[in-house]
């Protein structure tokens, strides 16, 4: 089990960026007075981008929660390219104004992790799923259901961070990674799962249920 990440409001990945932009804004204020406004706006943007609010997971062990903040841009039956099975795919697009911490969609053990280098197309495009840089986790729940969670880099996002390894155990909503500056996260659930979220829905990591696993899994 990886250690739980504390929630200091600002994600640990953002501390250097926040410090740098605040420092630049202070220097600009000292040198240029009101001309420093663009620097303060940049600092505020960085601060909101790296916010990392605490979240509570609703539902029960069969609930699949959103792994990211954003908007659902795809809900479809698809072939899971990692587990080679028919599945339901739910894709969440994160723009630069969403919180970018990635959370586990289910309680489960990390059975395998894959990393693929790739392009940096707009993450809102469907082909980003197969062509962009991405990191995938195979999670197996205590009930035996297999769920795949994929972090996908975007046009501006150039760094996928994932802190778990094979054998780690995650709780629903537990933080496992981060993607910098706009991206996409996809979840593949069993084909007999029940969808809760729909295309176009605005979702929040951990606190929005997107599907329910079959009880027999």
Catalytic status, residue 66: no
- 116 assigned to some structural domain: yes
Give the pLDDT band of residue 192 (cuts 50, 70, 90).
very high
Instruction: State the pLDDT at residue 165.
Output: 92
Averaged pLDDT, 39-66: 89
Q: Is 50 exceeded by the pLDDT of residue 108?
A: yes
Q: What is the mean pLDDT of the chain?
A: 86
Spot the catalytic one: 36, 130, 183, 191: 183
Per DSSP, what are the bridge partners of residue 179? Answer: 160
Residue 16: give the domain boundaries: 9-52
152 with 173, same domain? yes
pLDDT at 1: 47
Domain assignment present for 85: yes
Q: Using an 8 Å Cβ cutoff, are 50 and 18 in contact?
A: yes
What is the total count of domains within the chain?
A: 2
Q: Are residues 82 and 21 in the same domain?
A: no
Query: Does 147 map to a domain?
Result: yes
Name the pLDDT band for 122 (thresholds 50, 70, 90). Answer: low
Average pLDDT score over residue span 8-22: 84
Q: Is the pLDDT reported for residue 157 higher than 60?
A: no
Instruction: Report the alpha-carbon angle 111-57-160, nearest 5.
Output: 50
Residue 72 contacts residue 197 (beta carbons within 8 Å): yes
Q: Between residues 81 and 4, which one has the greater pLDDT?
A: 81
- 10 Å CB burial of residue 165 (0-12, 13-18, 19+) is exposed
Residue 124 falls inside a structural domain: yes
């Amino acid at each position: 089990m990886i250690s739980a990440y504390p929630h200091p409001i600002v994600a640990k990945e953002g501390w250097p960026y926040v410090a740098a932009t605040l420092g630049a804004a202070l220097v600009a204020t000292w040198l240029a007075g009101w001309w420093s406004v663009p620097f303060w706006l940049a600092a505020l943007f960085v601060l909101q981008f790296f916010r990392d609010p605490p979240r509570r997971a609703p539902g029960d062990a069969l609930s699949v929660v959103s792994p990211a903040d954003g908007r659902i841009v795809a809900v479809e039956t698809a072939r899971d390219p990692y587990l080679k099975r028919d599945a339901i795919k739910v894709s969440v697009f994160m723009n630069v104004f969403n919180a970018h911490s990635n959370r586990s969609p289910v309680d489960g053990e990390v059975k395998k992790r894959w990393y693929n280098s790739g392009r940096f197309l707009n993450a809102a495009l469907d082909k980003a799923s197969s062509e962009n840089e991405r990191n995938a986790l195979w999670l197996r729940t205590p009930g035996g259901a297999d769920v795949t969670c994929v972090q996908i880099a975007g046009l501006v996002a150039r760094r996928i961070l994932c802190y778990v390894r094979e054998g780690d155990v995650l709780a629903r909503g537990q933080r496992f990674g981060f993607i910098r500056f706009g991206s996409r996260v996809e979840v593949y659930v069993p084909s007999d799962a029940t969808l809760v979220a729909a295309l176009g829905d605005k979702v929040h990591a951990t606190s929005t249920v997107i599907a329910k696993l079959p009880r027999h899994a």
